Chain A
Amino acid sequence: GIQVEQSPPDLILQEGANSTLRCNFSDSVNNLQWFHQNPWGQLINLFYIPSGTKQNGRLSATTVATERYSLLYISSSQTTDSGVYFCAGGFDSWGKFQFGAGTQVVVTP
C-alpha cells in the first residue's frame, strides 16, 4: 500500500514563528487532505489539495503531485495552532485514505 511520511515528527515553536510541515508519498495519490487534530481529538479539515497551492488565513498548503509531496505552512503561529497535523492521501475513487504519522506541534507563548 501507499506509504505516507510526515516530517518533522515534533515541532516546538515560539508564538509568532513560521514553520513548514512536509508530507511525502511513496506513490501517486488522487487526492490529499491536511487535518488538524485538536486536544479533544476532533479532526478538522484544513485543506483539500491534490495539487497546486491554497491559502486560508495564516495557513497555506502546496502540493507537487508529480514529485509526490505536499507542504503545510504555518505563519505567525499562535498557541491555538498547537495540536497534531496529519496529511492523508487518497488512492481510490471511494475516498479511502492513508494517513501519515502526524506532526505534533506545540506553540509556546
Chain B
Amino acid sequence: GAVVSQHPSRVICKSGTSVKIECRSLDFQATTMFWYRQFPKKSLMLMATSNEGSKATYEQGVEKDKFLINHASLTLSTLTVTSAHPEDSSFYICSASRGRGANVLTFGAGSRLTVL
C-alpha cells in the first residue's frame, strides 16, 4: 500500500531559527503533495499544494515567505518554517496523491513543532 513518511515527528527549536520538515512517499511517485496545519483540538487547515518541479500554491492567509515549500522530486516535499516564533507551534501534516484523478490521500504521521 501507499506509505508516506514524515520526519521529524517532533521538533523543539528556539525562536528565530528555521525548521525543515520532510515528507516522502516511500513506494509511489507523488506528483502532488499537500501540507496541512492542525491546532490543538481543531481540524486540519490546508496550507499549500505542492507540485513536483513547480512553485507551491498557497491558500489564502498563509505566508509563503514564512512557510517555504519545495517539491524537488517525485518522492520528496519539504516544508521549512523560517524564523520560527511561538505562534508557529503546531502539528504539521503532509499528504500525497499519485496525481490527477488519483483521489485517495495518504497521510504522513505528522510533525509536532514547538517553538520556545
The interface of chain A, by Cβ under 8 A from chain B, is: 30-31, 33, 35, 40-43, 45, 48, 50, 86, 88, 90, 93-102, 104
CB pair A45 B43 closer than 8 Å: no
Tell me what chain B mostly uses at the interface: helix, strand, loop, or mixed: strand
The answer to whether B77 has its CB under 8 Å from any CB of chain A is: no
CB pair B32 A95 closer than 8 Å: yes
The answer to whether B69 has its CB under 8 Å from any CB of chain A is: no
Chain B neighbourhood of A90, CB < 8 A? 103, 105
- Give the B interface residue count (CB, 8 A): 26
Q: Can you list 23 A-B contacts (CB < 8 A)?
A: A30-B103, A33-B104, A41-B93, A41-B109, A43-B44, A43-B107, A48-B104, A50-B103, A86-B44, A94-B32, A94-B97, A94-B100, A95-B34, A95-B95, A95-B102, A95-B104, A96-B46, A96-B49, A97-B34, A99-B36, A99-B43, A99-B44, A101-B42
Q: Least Cβ distance of A41 to chain B in Å?
A: 5
CB pair B105 A100 closer than 8 Å: no
The answer to whether B106 has its CB under 8 Å from any CB of chain A is: yes
Q: Give Cα distance in the complex from A31 to B100, angstroms.
A: 13
What are the nearest 6 A-B pairs in CB distance? A95-B97, A43-B107, A31-B103, A41-B110, A99-B44, A42-B109
**Residue of B with least CB distance to A94:** B32
Q: Least Cβ distance of A40 to chain B in Å?
A: 8
Chain A neighbourhood of B41, CB < 8 A? 104
If A95-B34, A95-B102, A96-B34 touch, does A101 touch B109 (CB 8 Å cutoff)? no
Instruction: Specify which of A31, A43, A97 is in contact with B46 (CB 8 Å cutoff).
Output: A97
CB pair B101 A93 closer than 8 Å: yes
